Amino acid sequence: MNYSRKVVLKAYGKFILTCTAAVLGIAAVTTAGILSALHFNTFKGQGGLETPGPVEELPADLTPELAQELLEDTEAPVPGHKNAGLLSYTSYRVKKGDMIGFIADEFGVTQDTIISVNNIHSSRLIQIGQYLKIPSEPGILYTVRNDGETPSTIAAKYKVNPERCASLNGLELNASLSAGRTLFVPDAELDWVTRQEINGDLFKKPLHSRYYFSSMYGWRSSPFDSTRRTFHSGIDMACARGTSIYAALDGTVSTTGWSDVYGNYVIIRHHSGYKTLYAHMSQILVTKGQHVSTATRIGRVGSTGMSTGPHLHFTVYKNGRTVNPANLWK
């Protein structure tokens, strides 16, 4: 091999080594960046939106498979998004003393956002250690109800920017959507009834005087036969005979009457599929069709019907099914 060929090969070898080192260096930097992002549980989308960080790390005792699953779930797009990069998420682990409002303030979103994205049915029931998904934008999820709805018409319902609603979901402004599809509506809020239901502030207690709970909602030993267990469809509030009873929510009296079980009773129809039953009254003070408010006295406590003593039996119905009143009142 002559001298000139040796020089060329030597120069070529140096070039290969230099390129290899550069590639390895870039890989190291990239790997460090990825590890850093995972450490802070932060994910950035193509739109450049970045979630707040750092937040509490995933627990060290998780298996690698479960940790990866949690992280993958965290950065998953909202159903219906064509472009996952338009919205990013942070995984937050609830700790002692946390409240949804505090968490929302920390991440610059609203309580409605956290409630909607995490499908929370009662804000009182979030648990220490529970993982919440926090989006990078305030807003709520919306499920298309009818074929033909568009980002523009949905934005109009919530009085938000239609262009932003469309672009954040990777859609055209007037794209026709199918029923059942889910979109993220930026800056939208839950309606008042839904928020009150979830926060447990929808109803007021129907007794304003001194009382105590003598029986709660759910399964119990029958007060008339201790060998039997029966389902108690409401809450019993024991107090002095003649105590005033008030409507728990504004509405219209749909029925008043007598039954062998409930004695003197009143049923009030409210909005959003709710009805309330007030039973064992000594006296009924309202009539069918009468509009009532939470300041309206509808009757007096008694012990009529199947009763072991003076008390109010209070039941809440939602679309024809009983629900626990304790989850819905202040």
Domain with CATH 3.10.350.10 in the chain: 87-201
- The pLDDT of 265-274, averaged and rounded, is 92
Confidence of residue 75 (pLDDT cuts 50, 70, 90): very low
State whether CATH 3.40.50.1820 applies to domain 87-201.
no
Give the other-Cβ count within 10 Å of 293's Cβ: 10
Average pLDDT, the chain: 80
State the Cα–Cα distance between residues 263 and 276, nearest whole angstrom: 16
**CATH homologous superfamily of domain 212-327?**
Glucose Permease (Domain IIA) (2.70.70.10)
Q: CA-CA distance, 127 to 32, in Å (whole number)?
A: 33
Residue 83 has pLDDT above 60, yes or no: no
pLDDT confidence bin for 26, thresholds 50/70/90? very low
pLDDT value, residue 202? 85
Structure tokens at 37: 């992002």
According to CATH, where is 2.70.70.10 located in the chain? 212-327
The string of pLDDT tens digits covering residues 114-153 is 999 999 988 877 899 999 999 999 999 999 999 999 999 9
Q: Is the pLDDT of residue 158 over 80?
A: yes
Rounded to an integer, what distance in angstroms lies between the CA atom of residue 266 and that of residue 278?
5
**Per-residue pLDDT tens over the stretch 199-243:** 777 899 999 999 999 999 999 999 888 899 999 999 999 999 999
Rounded to two decimals, the pTM is 0.53
User: What's the chain's Rg over C-alpha atoms?
Assistant: 30
Best CA proximity match to 313, nearest among 275, 266, 251: 266
